Chains A and B, each alone.
Chain A
Amino acid sequence: MAMTEQEILAGLGEIIDEVAGVPADQVTPDKTFVDDLDIDSLSMVEIAVAAQDKFGVEIPDDQLKDLKTVQDVIDYVRRADVSA
């Protein structure tokens, strides 16, 4: 069954807390990774690796640079989840 936006957001909050030490409650859809959450490109790779474990969705390196906000990742996971 496809994951809801809320489920993905909650999972992403846990991942970002673990990888980058940003409290999950600060991870809201409108936040940008670089400017709002201070997450660099290496942490984005770690988030992608953890997202693959958690959501079963692969986010390749060449897609990562286009995912600028939390909502971008939610949309990416939902699209991949539906098409899987």
Chain B
Amino acid sequence: MRLPDGQPAARVLAFGGYQPAKVVTNDDLAATVETTDEWIRSRVGIASRRIAGPDETVADMAVQAGGKALAASGLSPADVDLVIVATCTPEVQIPNVSASVARRLGIVAPGAYDLNAACAGFCYALANASDAVRTGTARNVLVIGAEKLSQWVDWTDRSTCIIFADGAGAAVVGAVAEPADAPGIGPVHWGSDGDLADKIFIEDRNGFIFQEGQAVFRWATSALAPIALKACEKAGVEPTEIAAFVPHQANLRIVEAIARRLGAPQAVVASDIVTAGNTSSASIPLALSRMLERGEIASGSHALLLGFGAGMCYAAQVITVP
């Protein structure tokens, strides 16, 4: 028996993002449920969000984001051996999303699986991708977070319909350019707390997303900063060396509360939620791709990623920005 030759370290080669065309503003929502633009902005920090068309699927959005990341990476589809789609909102459970997404991107016969760690999904998938490259089970991995939360939201429930949205984000993961190069993806610090499984859930296949907002807010603002700092410690990177903090875009109040506790005063803090809403596993790569487009983060700098959500599940890692 033998094992493949691994690589010393993995890195992110490129990011890509996709948002559906339809913009839904707070005023649009205020026309159908009892809420106001001011209340939504002050409580969750969202000004507008994107919602997929009725026939636009999780796979459609995944293909868009994955295609952009692949093009930006300079690789060809034949270079990709594994496709992981992090999602908790597929239209159906069988078949998975990833195999059809791979086929539509021209990636022939890769390993393909979906991963559900809710809003932490992208960071879990990124860790899996890094490990696959390091152990030699894949040369390059396409990691996608794609969600159509709108199809699991009760649009008459003002506590959830103001938050959740649709979109996709992707990353291509491969080996570092030279074996001696520093790793581009640090060790993941991940975990879960099943005692809180009843704080965010969908009751059954006909149900909608429910969350106990105050309990989730308390957990997020108390438990997560130490988890993010643990990822820094595992990577050997001081919080003061972090150039960008990109947590899951759950609620701007949560993002800011965690950021205050990090001791990373010079880090740009992702606030993509303002115009993207909460897109669950898509939010981190979507935010990163848009921050890169706007030139907010420099190539080669360190970004701290923190995914967290239903389960509760969480995962954090430091990456080098491609």
Residues of A at the B interface (CB closer than 8 Å) are 18-19, 40-42, 45-46, 48-49, 52, 61
Contacts and interface: CB of A to CB of B under 8 A. Distances in A.
Interface in B238-262: 253, 257, 260
B256 to A, nearest CB: 10
A45 B214 contact: yes
Contacts of A48: 218
Which secondary structure dominates where chain A touches chain B?
helix
B215 A49 contact: no
A45 B260 CA distance: 15
B42 A45 contact: no
A48 B219 CA distance: 12
Interface residues of B, number: 11
Given A18-B260, A46-B257, A40 B218 contact: no
Given A49-B218, A49-B221, A49-B222, A42 B260 contact: no
Interface of B: 42-43, 214-215, 217-218, 221-222, 253, 257, 260
B43 A45 contact: no
B43 A61 contact: no
B222 A40 contact: no
Contact of B42 (A18, A40, A61): A40
Nearest to A49: B222
Nearest to A65: B214
Contact of B222 (A18, A41, A52): A52
Contacts of B42: 40
A28 B215 CA distance: 28
